[in-house]
Amino acid sequence: MNRIYLDHAATTPLDKRVLKEMQPYFSEKYGNASSLHFFGTEAREAMEKSRDAIAKAINARPEEIVFTSGGTESDNIAVKGVAFGNKKRGKRVITSKIEHHAISHTCQFLEKDGFEVSYLNVDKEGSIDLAELEKEIGEGTTLVSVMHANNEIGAIQPVKEIGKLCREKGIYFHTDAVQSVGKERIDVEKMGIDLLSASGHKFYGPKGIGFLYARKGTKIHPLMHGGGHEKGIRPGTENVAGIVGMAAALKIAEKEREKENARERKLAKKLVNGALKIENSWLNGPAVGKARLSNNVNLGFDFVEGESIVLMLSDKGIAASTGSACSTRDLQPSHVLRAIGLPHVKCHGSLRLTLGRGNTGKDIDVVLKELPSIVKKLREISPLRKGVDISEFEEDVEHTHKH
């Protein structure tokens, strides 16, 4: 059976070119970058060269790049670090209702510690309202954290405008760019970004490595304490092989970005046009080609469960998901789909297909061949099938989730 991978928003395969760059740092150039001898110097030189390359990719300064274990850690350092480090200025944070759990759960933690958090609404395409943001910024606000691109529906936020507003108000702006780094052009200076989170395995680099961009002068309270690595913001022996791999992966992604985006966008349009021929189906988020990641397709189907579609696609050798890989085992409806206005029942019928470098038009043909019959089969056995009044069931679901 040929296998088709359409879950690149969850993770991407390590590029063979990246692996080649990493290999010497596993067994040949294995020094600790903090050691003073030549093994350590060799490792540190490779690490700093990588830091320079990453900084260049987002128009930052090398000293503003902090290496972490990935996006979740970067998000936690940014949000908690700024919140705790600037308590004297205020204890108010603003975010959106469609953030990754690395942000939303962190904000919930802050609320338990006495911070006030405002959660911005989004429209049906997943975009925040700048006027609402401006209205919410009040006395004591120290941080705004709004993701660059959503991991479930691919919606791209007006980051440049958010950055401009925050700069005018004199507050820090953080963006979770885990899904957009390597896919969208990012310039932290032009976009007015003070903090940015990224993760290597989202752009064909290794897992377990990420970075936080923190603008020089940003006051951050460290979450861990130790040997003073990474300017004391993130202590711990640096993952040199991972750092080298992440830098190599980002360099390749930036070089190939425009060409790859155009190719993926073409495949996404083909996939959406074909899938929407299925009765009672729809696209969640912006239209393909609008303010949306080029590789993201999030579909909805009435009268079926997204998890069932994923399992049946898997049986056919097609890997997909219903949403964030961090929460797909959770029976709760997607908070992102709820935020854009979908009722509980419709949320459960979602399917996320995210394209990558290895996908071809033939892959899309296979999906479009298998998907209609899978949806039809599931509808035939579904208690929510067409013709059944689901309003009473939906009321029961709403009641259950409230209590």
Are 319 and 336 within one domain?
yes
Residue 50 marked in a binding site? no
Q: CA-to-CA distance for 203 and 236, rounded, in angstroms?
A: 24
80 and 192 both lie in a single domain = yes
- If asked whether residues 53 and 128 sit together in one domain, one would say yes
Tell me: do 113 and 56 sit in the same domain: yes
Residue 142 annotated in ligand binding: no
pLDDT of residue 401: 43
Q: What is the largest CA-CA distance in the chain?
A: 75
Residue 110 has pLDDT above 50, yes or no: yes
Same domain, 271 and 296: yes
**241, 270: one domain:** no
pLDDT at 326: 52
- 175 token code pair: 């963006």
The model's pLDDT over 72-104, given as tens digits with 9 standing for 90+, comes to: 999 999 999 999 999 999 999 999 999 999 999
For position 329, what pLDDT does the model report? 54
Q: Three-class SS of residue 395?
A: helix
Q: Is the overall model pTM greater than 0.85, yes or no? A: yes
| Cβ(367)–Cβ(4) below 8 Å | yes
385 pLDDT above the threshold of 80: no
What pLDDT score does 140 carry?
96
Q: Minimal CA–CA distance to 235: which of 244, 226, 248, 243?
A: 226
Looking at the fold, whether 366 and 244 belong to one and the same domain comes out as no
Contact residues for 343 (Cβ-Cβ < 8 A; gap 6+): 394, 398
Six token digits for residue 65: 């790049």
Is the pLDDT at 331 greater than 80? The verdict is: no
DSSP per residue over 324-389, as a string? Answer: -TTTTT--SPPHHHHHTT--HHHHTTEEEEE--TT--HHHHHHHHHHHHHHHHHHHHT-TT-TTS-
Are 130 and 213 in the same domain? yes
Of 190, 220, 252, the position where a domain reaches its end is 252
Please, what's the b/e burial string for 161-172 (b: 16 or more CB within 10 A of its CB; e: otherwise)? ebbbbbeeeebb
Render pLDDT for 214-264 as a digit per residue (tens, 0 to 9).
999 999 999 888 877 888 789 898 999 999 999 999 999 999 999 999 999
Is the per-residue pLDDT at 37 higher than 50?
Answer: yes
- Distance (Å, rounded) from C-alpha 403 to C-alpha 396? 11
Is residue 237 a known part of a binding site? yes
Query: Is 74 annotated for ligand binding?
Result: no
Residue where a domain terminates, one of 252, 281, 306: 252
Confirm or deny that 126 is annotated as ligand binding.
no
Asked whether residue 315 falls in the same domain as residue 267, the answer is yes
Angle at 324 between CA 360 and CA 134, to 5 degrees: 110
Domain end, chosen from 252, 282, 302, is at 252
Please name the residue that has the structure tokens 């919606």. 155
Q: Tell me if 326 is assigned to a ligand binding site.
A: yes
Question: In this predicted model, what pLDDT tens digit does every residue of 267-322 receive, in sequence order?
Answer: 999 999 999 999 999 999 999 999 999 999 999 999 999 999 999 999 999 999 99
Closest CA to 124 of 268, 275, 283: 283
Query: Cα-atom radius of gyration of the chain, to the nearest Å?
Result: 22
Catalytic positions are 326
How far apart are the C-alpha atoms of 276 and 264, rounded to whole Å? Answer: 18
Structurally, the chain folds into a number of domains equal to: 2
Q: What is the CATH number of the domain that holds 173?
A: 3.40.640.10
Query: What is the domain extent for residue 327?
Result: 4-9+257-402
* Statement to judge: residues 305 and 287 lie in one domain: yes
Judge whether 199 is annotated as a binding position.
yes
Please tell me whether residues 167 and 94 are part of one structural domain.
Answer: yes
Same domain, 228 and 334: no
CATH code, 348 = 3.90.1150.10
CA nearest neighbour of 141 among 92, 95, 78? 92
